[in-house]
Chain A
Amino acid sequence: MSDTKSASVPALPRSVQAGNGITRRDFLNEITLGALGIAGLGSVAVTYQYFSPNVLFEPSTTFRAGNPDLYPLHSVTFLQDQQVYIVRMPEGFYAVSAVCTHLGCITAWHPEHELIECPCHGSKFKDDGTKVAGPAPRPLPHFAISLTADGELLVDKLQNIKPSQVLKV
């Protein structure tokens, strides 16, 4: 530490010596960039929050589908407003989504083929949602279906259930 050179060079301030050769300018630059970086990340976060709506004015995902007697045995009924098929078979009731699992087009029930068919890219499904043909990657999902206290069918489109779970009335 104490060589001949140090006598002629003025000693650096203690704070600079302690910082392993980091100058004041470097320190201030880094702390400013760090602060700007944190502020930048924060503004990205609040912008993301701003663009995610907290309240959506979209149709309710739970709906009443009326009295079970409305649906004859061996029938597939398309509820256009809800984009759901209510299917009644001897084993019971089930609710199948009418939205194609390929790219979201609305399918149609074709009684003459006994198939649910998508007009956009030609996917075909059986009345229980099983895929028969086409580009759709998955079968049509089944929605939770139950009976209300006053005996009406109640479908919850946010709750997917296994196709084996049918509602017996």
Chain B
Amino acid sequence: MATTFHSALQSLRETKVWKSIFRRGPANTNRTRSLAVFGNLFLHWMPVKVREKSLRVRASYYLGSISFILFIVLFVTGILLMFYYHPAAPHAYRDMKDLQFVVSNGVFLRNLHRLAAHLMVFVVFWHMFHVFYRGGYKPPHEFNWIVGVMLLLLTLFLSYTGYLLPWDQLAFWAVTVGTNIISAMPVVGNKVRFLLLGGNIVGENALLRFYVLHVVILPLIAFFFIGIHFWRVQKDGGLTVKPKDDDGKE
């Protein structure tokens, strides 16, 4: 069975189509393995080699990877929720209720989106604390630390803009209070609040603006910063590794 599979794979690799997609031969030496990573759009920002220590659980608890996986979960479930949600004043609340009670598996997707969002805020903060206490902000990682702070802020903005979309009492008053905090900013506060809400009250315009920020603008910026963040981890020489990461003892 195993040999049949192996030979089938082997003959697949011989085909013209396969060879046109993967132009390099089998990655069976260190050189060809490196070339396979370099030559792949989806892998080229990954390190060709990593230190075994940096893969140990206690080196990172995989918090960055978990944040990214949660981001992908939110991306996919968010797109699915968009098929039933209208960002308009009488519909938004009803659509949210429909997702909970009428749409097949709607409650699963909505709760997956909601809980993954809560979890992402938690994991991103944990990631930041973990990196901070390991000294991950020190040279040569200063730039990536700042990119990470941007990603933390983006996570919070995404969380806050998503909070309005159910259009219930909690959402309405949370955004009323939040945007009044913005108007406490000196000089430009009231103007920023007006632009963000598209008016003087939390109404239709505010719902639509928060929706566009939540589903288009902020995710695009987040993807951009995530790309830089991952690429920079490799360029800065991988994770901060300490001697005790070997076996848990100094």
CA distance A103 to B199 in the complex (A): 17
Q: Which residue of chain B lies nearest to A104 when distances are taken between CB atoms in the complex?
A: B180
Which residues in chain A, 91-124, are within 8 Å of chain B measured between CB atoms? 102-105, 120
Question: Which of B173, B194, B195, B203 is close to A105, meaning CB atoms less than 8 Å apart?
Answer: B173
For the A-B complex, the count of residue pairs with Cβ-Cβ distances under 8 Å equals 32
Give CA–CA (A163, B205) in the complex, Å. 34
Tally chain A residues at the interface, Cβ within 8 Å: 13
B177 touches A58 (CB 8 A): no
Shortest distance in angstroms between B204's beta carbon and chain A's nearest beta carbon?
7
Of A51, A58, A104, the most chain B CB neighbours within 10 A belong to A104
Q: How large is the interface on B (under 10, 10 to 19, 20 to 34, 35 or more residues)?
A: 10 to 19
CA distance A143 to B2 in the complex (A): 84
B182 to chain A, nearest CB (A): 11
B204 touches A104 (CB 8 A): no
Given A57-B204, A58-B200: A51 in contact with B177 (beta carbons within 8 A): no
Q: Mark B168-202, 1 if CB is under 8 A from A, else 0.
A: 00000100110111000000000000110011110
A-side contacts of B176, CB under 8 Å: 103-105
Query: In the docked arrangement, what's the CA distance between A52 and B179, Å?
Result: 16
A56 within 8 A of B: yes
Q: Does A53 contact B (CB under 8 A)?
A: yes
Assess A51 versus B181: contact at CB under 8 Å? Given A58-B203, A105-B176.
no
* Cβ-defined partner of B198 (8 Å) among A48, A51, A59, A105: A51
Give the residues in chain B near A57, CB-CB below 8 Å: 203-204
Q: Report the minimal beta-carbon distance from B185 to chain A, rounded to whole angstroms.
A: 14
A124-144: CB near B (< 8 Å → 1, else 0) gives: 000000000000000000000
- Give 11 A-B pairs besides A51-B198, A57-B204 with Cβ atoms closer than 8 angstroms: A48-B195, A51-B195, A52-B195, A53-B205, A56-B199, A103-B177, A103-B180, A104-B176, A104-B180, A105-B173, A105-B177
A-B contact pairs, 23 of them (CB 8 A): A51-B195, A51-B198, A52-B194, A53-B198, A53-B199, A53-B205, A56-B199, A56-B200, A57-B203, A57-B204, A58-B200, A58-B203, A59-B201, A102-B180, A103-B176, A103-B177, A103-B180, A103-B181, A104-B176, A104-B180, A105-B176, A105-B177, A120-B173
